[in-house]
C-alpha cells in the first residue's frame, strides 16, 4: 500500500483498524517482555492508537511513527500536554511528554534513533504491509535494533485472503521474516467466532554473528518457532 492509499484512509476517516480501547493482548502479554519502566518502545505504523497511552502509563518512553500527519495531529490534539515540533529531512517530529510522535515513513527513521529502542510493539503494523514490503521491513528492524531488543507482535489471519489491509500473516511467515535474526516464542493463539485467528508472538533480537560470517537474510531461518 503506498502513501496515497493511507492518505485517503486518513482523509476519509476510514479508520476501521482504530480500536476505541487499549488492545487486550498488549495488556495481557506486555509484562512477558520483562522491561524496565523507563525502557524506550517503538510503535511502528502507530496510527493514533490508544495503546501508546497505555505504554506511556507503564512508564515507558514511546516513539510512535506513522506516515500520516493527520494521525499525528489527531493523537496529539487528544492529549493536553504541550507539544514541541521539529523537522528532520522528510520527518515531522513532535514531542509531547515522554512521547515522540514521528510523522513520516518508518523506513526513513535514522538507525541511531532505533538503536536506543528496547522494545517494539506491533499491532496492525506488519499486517498492514503487503507481502512485497514485509521482508524489507523485517530486515530494516533487524538491522537497526540492538541485540536483546524485544518485540510483541500481534498477528491475524482471516479465512479469506484480502485485497487490502489487514493482510493475512501466518506463524510460518513470522518465522520466515524474523526467525533468522530473532528468537520467536508464540505466547497465544485463538480462533475467534468469525474464523479469524489471532496470534501473539514475543521476539528477541539475537546477538550479531561472529566477524567474517555473512549476515542472515530473512527467510534463512536458524531457529524454529516455539
Ligand atoms: C492498519 S493501521 C494501524 C495503526 C495502529 N497500529 C493501530 O493499531 O491502530 C496502519 C498505519 O500504518 C501507517 N503506515 C503505512 N505505511 C507506513 C510507512 N511506510 N511508514 C509509517 N507509517 C505507515 C498508516 O498511515 C496507518 O495509520
pTM for the structure as a whole: 0.92
**pLDDT over 90 (residue 75):** yes
ipTM rounded to 2 decimals: 0.99
Cβ atoms of 205 and 120 closer than 8 Å:
no
What's the pLDDT tens digit per position in 182-221? 999 999 999 999 999 999 999 999 997 766 555 555 444 4
CA 12, distance to chain mean position in Å, is: 23
Q: What share of the chain is helix, strand, coil (3-state, %, to 5)?
A: 30, 25, 45
According to the model, what pLDDT value does residue 121 have? 98
Confidence of residue 163 (pLDDT cuts 50, 70, 90): confident
pLDDT of residue 226: 35
Q: What distances in angstroms separate CA 102 from CA 2, 47, 88, 109, one per listed residue?
A: 18, 11, 10, 9
Is any ligand 1 atom within 6 A of the Cβ of residue 68?
yes
Mean pLDDT of the chain: 92
Ligand 1 pocket test, candidate residues 3, 67, 126, 136, most atoms within 8 A of CB: 67
Instruction: Kindly report, residue by residue over 93-105, the tens digit of the pLDDT.
Output: 999 999 999 999 9
Decide if pLDDT at 225 tops 60.
Answer: no
Dihedral over alpha carbons 138, 99, 14, 160 (to 10 degrees): 30
- pLDDT value at residue 162: 86
105-160 confidence digits (pLDDT tens): 999 999 888 999 999 999 999 999 999 999 999 999 999 999 999 999 999 999 99
What CATH code is assigned to 24-205? 3.40.50.150
More confident residue, 60 or 161: 60
Q: Does ligand 1 have an atom closer than 6 angstroms to the CB of 18?
A: yes
- In this predicted structure, what is the pLDDT of residue 215? 54
Q: Where are the domains of the chain?
A: 24-205
Is 95 annotated as belonging to a binding site?
no
Task: Answer yes or no: is 45 a known binding residue.
Answer: yes
pLDDT at residue 39 tops 90: yes
Amino acid at each position: 500500500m503506498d502513501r496515497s492509499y493511507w492518505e485517503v484512509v486518513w482523509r476519509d476517516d476510514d479508520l476501521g483498524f482504530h480500536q476505541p480501547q487499549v488492545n487486550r493482548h498488549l495488556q495481557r502479554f506486555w509484562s512477558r517482555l520483562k522491561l524496565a519502566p523507563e525502557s524506550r518502545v517503538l510503535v511502528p505504523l502507530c496510527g493514533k492508537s490508544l495503546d501508546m497511552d497505555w505504554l506511556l502509563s507503564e512508564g515507558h518512553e514511546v516513539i510512535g511513527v506513522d506516515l500520516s500527519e493527520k494521525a499525528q495531529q489527531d493523537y496529539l490534539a487528544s492529549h493536553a500536554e504541550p507539544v514541541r515540533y521539529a523537522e528532520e529531512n522528510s520527518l515531522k517530529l513532535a514531542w509531547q511528554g515522554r512521547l515522540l510522535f514521528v510523522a513520516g515513513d518508518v523506513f526513513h527513521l535514522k538507525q541511531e534513533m532505533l538503536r536506543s529502542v528496547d522494545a517494539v510493539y506491533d499491532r496492525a503494523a506488519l499486517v498492514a504491509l503487503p507481502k512485497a514490503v514485509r521482508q524489507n521491513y523485517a530486515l530494516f528492524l533487524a538491522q537497526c535494533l540492538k541485540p536483546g531488543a524485544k518485540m510483541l507482535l500481534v498477528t491475524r489471519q482471516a479465512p479469506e485472503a484480502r485485497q487490502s489491509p489487514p493482510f493475512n500473516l501466518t506463524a510460518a511467515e513470522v518465522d520466515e521474516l524474523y526467525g533468522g535474526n530473532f528468537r520467536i516464542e508464540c505466547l497465544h493463539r485463538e480462533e475467534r467466532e468469525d474464523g479469524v485467528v489471532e496470534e501473539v508472538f514475543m521476539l528477541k533480537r539475537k546477538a550479531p554473528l561472529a566477524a567474517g560470517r555473512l549476515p542472515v537474510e530473512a527467510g534463512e531461518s536458524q531457529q524454529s518457532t516455539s
